[in-house]
């Protein structure tokens, strides 16, 4: 399995707090059957700034250490970028990273609402050949209440990533229900761990896929698994239209 969103790098944010913890997380990932992790420290979220060059340095040094310790995990560079006013300018300046140098960029919204410029970012980055992957929409209050807004972003070219702990119930029943509903409605293209540590926020990716398979079908779980592999390989992810017509959302979201 490939994990496209995890806070595996030490010292950079509220994820791993030491090299030892990063190595423990890497061991845990391997034991779950994860072969590659895209390290996505927070960037531009008002607390943490981790520009491209810094992330690349940390990835290279962790990868070297993993090889020395014979831990068979590939680490690639990325960022979890909070939508901010100068997003497009900074993309042009080269301080932002796509996921594993692919044409996919992980974008996070604040938990309470969707930024007014969200659609503009999706559209403008799309013109530069970059596809926005919306991080954990099931944890965003506005998208959870109005999933037709997520459908609209997907129709505008974005993709979306659900977090393993949302599926397994780690954030409560309501988030779990929203996550499953978004998956069943084909609004989700990736499952990722958003792992922060080994105890409170581990990977739980295998558990999440098996739950997804049980609740939403093997075909969807397989397609999410394959999409993460395609992304890492720098290949295009097939577009799939959201399943529910937009006008029926209000009925289904009750
Ligand atoms: Fe994250």
Would you list the domain boundaries of the chain?
A: 2-252
For 19-37, write each residue's pLDDT tens digit.
Answer: 999 999 999 999 999 999 9
Structure tokens at 75: 């680490």
**pLDDT for the residue numbered 250:** 52
Query: How far is the centre of ligand 1, averaged over its atoms, from the C-alpha of 196 (Å)?
Result: 8
Helical ranges in the chain per DSSP H: 19-32, 52-68, 87-93, 118-127, 141-145, 147-155, 164-168, 173-184, 205-216, 218-232, 249-252
Question: What is the separation, in whole angstroms, between the first and last Cα of the chain?
Answer: 34
Query: How far is the centre of ligand 1, averaged over its atoms, from the C-alpha of 43 (Å)?
Result: 10
For 106-124, write each residue's pLDDT tens digit.
Answer: 999 999 999 999 999 999 9
SS3 call for 217: coil
Query: How far is the centre of ligand 1, averaged over its atoms, from the C-alpha of 156 (Å)?
Result: 23
Q: Which are the contacts of 142, defined by CB distance < 8 A and separation ≥ 6?
A: 112, 113, 114, 149
Q: Which are the contacts of 151, defined by CB distance < 8 A and separation ≥ 6?
A: 185, 187, 242, 244, 246, 249
Q: Is the pLDDT of residue 68 over 60?
A: yes
Query: How far is the centre of ligand 1, averaged over its atoms, from the C-alpha of 72 (Å)?
Result: 23
Structure tokens at 50: 């981790």
* Contact assessment for residue 198 and residue 228, using Cβ atoms and an 8 Å cutoff: no
d(CA 188, CA 203): 18
**DSSP bridge partners of 39:** 6, 77
Query: How far is the centre of ligand 1, averaged over its atoms, from the C-alpha of 41 (Å)?
Result: 7
Q: Is the pLDDT of residue 192 over 70?
A: yes
Q: How confident is the model at residue 243 (pLDDT cuts 50, 70, 90)?
A: confident
Query: How far is the centre of ligand 1, averaged over its atoms, from the C-alpha of 247 (Å)?
Result: 31
Query: How far is the centre of ligand 1, averaged over its atoms, from the C-alpha of 193 (Å)?
Result: 8
Q: What is the DSSP letter of 10?
A: T
- As a whole number, the mean pLDDT across the chain is 95
Question: Which CATH superfamily is 2-252 part of?
Answer: Metal-dependent hydrolases (3.20.20.140)
Q: Is the pLDDT of residue 240 over 90?
A: no
Query: How far is the centre of ligand 1, averaged over its atoms, from the C-alpha of 238 (Å)?
Result: 24
Q: How many CA atoms lie within 13 A of 6 on its CB side?
A: 34
Query: How far is the centre of ligand 1, averaged over its atoms, from the C-alpha of 83 (Å)?
Result: 13
pLDDT, average across residues 173-182? 97
d(CA 207, CA 74): 21
Least Cα distance to 55 among 89, 109, 23, 94 occurs for 94
DSSP letters spanning 89-153: HHHHHT-S--GGGSSEEEEE--SS---TTHHHHHHHHHHTT-EEEEE-GGG-HHHHH-HHHHHHH
């Amino acid at each position: 399995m490939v994990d496209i969103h995890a806070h595996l790098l030490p010292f950079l944010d509220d994820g791993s707090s030491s090299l030892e913890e990063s190595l423990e997380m890497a061991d845990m990932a391997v034991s779950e059957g994860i072969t590659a992790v895209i390290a996505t420290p927070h960037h531009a979220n008002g607390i943490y700034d981790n520009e491209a060059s810094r992330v690349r340095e940390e990835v290279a040094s962790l990868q070297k250490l993993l090889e020395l310790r014979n831990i068979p995990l590939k680490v690639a560079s990325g960022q979890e970028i909070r939508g901010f006013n100068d997003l497009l300018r900074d993309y042009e300046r080269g301080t932002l990273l796509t996921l594993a140098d692919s044409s996919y960029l992980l974008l996070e919204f604040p938990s309470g609402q969707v930024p007014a410029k969200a659609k503009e970012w999706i559209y403008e980055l799309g013109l530069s050949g970059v596809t926005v992957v919306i991080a954990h929409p099931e944890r965003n209050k506005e998208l959870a209440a109005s999933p037709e807004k997520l459908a609209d972003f997907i129709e505008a070219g974005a993709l979306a990533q659900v977090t393993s702990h949302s599926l397994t119930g780690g954030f409560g029943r309501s988030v779990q229900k929203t996550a499953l509903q978004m998956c069943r409605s084909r609004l989700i293209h990736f499952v990722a761990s958003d792992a922060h540590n080994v105890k409170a926020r581990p990977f739980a990716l295998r558990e999440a896929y098996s739950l997804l398979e049980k609740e939403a079908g093997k075909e969807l779980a397989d397609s999410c698994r394959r999409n993460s592999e395609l992304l890492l390989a720098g290949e295009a992810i097939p577009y799939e239209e959201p399943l529910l017509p937009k006008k029926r959302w209000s009925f289904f979201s009750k």
